[in-house]
Amino acid sequence: MRGWLLAILIAAGLLLANGVFTGAFGAGVALPPYVLQVLCLAGINVTLAVSLNLINGFTGQFSIGHAGFMAIGAYASSYFTVTFGPALRTSLGSLPLFVQDSVVLLVGLAIGAFLASIAGFFVGVPSLRLRGDYLAIVTLGFGEIIGVVILNIDAVGGARGYSGIPKLANFFWIWIFAAVTILIVYRIVHSSFGRTLVAIREDEVAAEAMGVHTTRAKVISFVVSSAMAGVAGGLFAHYLMYVNVRSFNFLKSFEIIIMIVIGGLGSISGSVLGAVLFISLTEGLREFAQYRMVLFSLLLIILMIVRPQGILGHKEFVTFLTRRRRSIGAAPGTTGNA
């Protein structure tokens, strides 16, 4: 009961914030469009980072092809809203416009998430049998293959990019899905299945000896993570109204990895922190754009040398402050799957 109340409160709060920021309550309290866009992109990054953390941080399987699934979500949902959106609207003709918008967006996102999770399944089944660094390379390869395939589909614009996507996503939807992603990952991690995932991260052989079907658990975690990346991609496309394969190349995957590594692999609040830090730094250093990635990569190397577990490590923000409860599955001195 309390959970529902909280959910309704969060949704109402976001709706209110959306109204205030976009100027529904007068231009005086509205945010400048640039700040609003940064906030929205931050929300998409939070979704991406938290979903990638499920597979990289909690399951300990280092995937670096997350942007590929984001691309599938973006293209699939956009293709739906552009091609079938008008027809869906006609069938909803009597309903108010914002309901129509929401229905079209939600169906589009569902399709994007579904296709991304299918792709996640087909990528995950062969590659998740591999350990550590092999998996990293294979996911990187699959991510690039997804890009090449999309580039060759002319119906979605090929190398020109896909334009004319209706602007259906806004601050409210982006942060609702960020909250939903956080909730899903939190619930998974704190379930018995989540303990299975953490067991795989800590010691795959021991987990298998305890009767965990490791490949199955890893594939499930990978599929869920891909679906959420698909949603993030769909929101990205419907917020910027234009997508290009180049936005989803391995550099995007690396960006998401930097976010979760900075925040701490295996910490949900760490991913949120990492995503927000990353976008603040990126936007703050806009004047020095060409030095930005040099700085980030240097930061990543130094972080690995000085504090390889990231800012929060396996801990959550609350436990990090109070230090009373031990974080989920964090054994002393472990730094992840060897």
Q: Is 335 in the site for another protein (CB under 8 A)?
A: yes
236 scored as a contact of another protein (CB under 8 A):
no
Nearest to 257 by CA among 57, 39, 38, 43: 57
Among 22, 37, 327, 337, binds another protein (CB under 8 A): 337
Q: Give the separation between CA 24 and CA 28, rounded to whole angstroms.
A: 10
In the chain the first and final C-alpha atoms are separated, in Å, by 41
Note whether 338 binds another protein by CB under 8 A.
yes
Residues 6+ apart with CB under 8 A from 247: 71, 236
Q: Helices 250-263 and 132-151, interaxial angle, to 10°?
A: 140
Q: Which is nearer to another protein, 62 or 75 (CB)?
A: 62
Which residue, 150, 149, 143, 148, is CA-closest to 64?
143
Cβ atoms of 95 and 84 closer than 8 Å:
no
What is the closest distance, in whole angstroms, from the C-beta atom of residue 133 to another protein in the complex?
Answer: 4
Residue 144, number of CB atoms within 10 A of its CB: 16
Interface region with another protein, contact rule CB under 8 A, candidates 34-42, 71-79, 97-105, 285-293: 285-293
Single-letter amino acid, residue 285: L
Q: Which stretch binds another protein (CB under 8 A): 91-99, 272-280, 303-311, 324-332?
A: 303-311
Nearer to another protein, 147 or 166 (CB): 147
215 binds another protein (CB under 8 A): no
Nearest of 188, 173, 147 to residue 234 by alpha carbon? 173
- CA-to-CA distance for 226 and 234, rounded, in angstroms? 12
Token duo for residue 302: 């130094």
297 near another protein, rule: CB under 8 A: yes
Q: Which of these ranges, 27-35, 68-76, 85-93, 133-141, lies near another protein under the rule CB under 8 A?
A: 133-141
Considering only 62, 80, 239, 248, the residue that binds another protein (CB under 8 A) is 62
Residues 135-154 that bind another protein (CB under 8 A): 136-138, 140-142, 144-145, 148, 152
36 binds another protein, rule: CB under 8 A = no
- Indicate the length of the chain as a whole number: 338
> Interface residues for another protein in 192-211 (CB under 8 A)?
205-206
Among 33, 132, 158, 161, contact with another protein (rule: CB under 8 A): 132
Tokens of 177: 């899905």
Q: Which of 8, 294, 318, 331 binds another protein (CB under 8 A)?
A: 294
For the CB of residue 272, give the shortest distance to another protein in the complex, in Å: 20
Q: Which of 8, 24, 304, 331 binds another protein (CB under 8 A)?
A: 304
User: Segment contacting another protein (CB under 8 A): 10-18, 83-91, 123-131, 320-328?
Assistant: 123-131
Would residue 246 be called left, alpha or beta, if left means φ above 0 and alpha means ψ between -120 and 50 degrees?
alpha
Triad 130, 141, 199: Cα angle to 5°: 30
The half-sphere exposure of 19 on its side-chain side, counting CA atoms within 13 A, is 8
Q: Which residues make up the interface to another protein (CB under 8 A)?
A: 60, 62, 64, 126-127, 129-130, 132-134, 136-138, 140-142, 144-145, 148, 152, 205-206, 250, 254, 257, 261, 265, 290-291, 293-294, 296-298, 300-301, 304-305, 308, 334-338
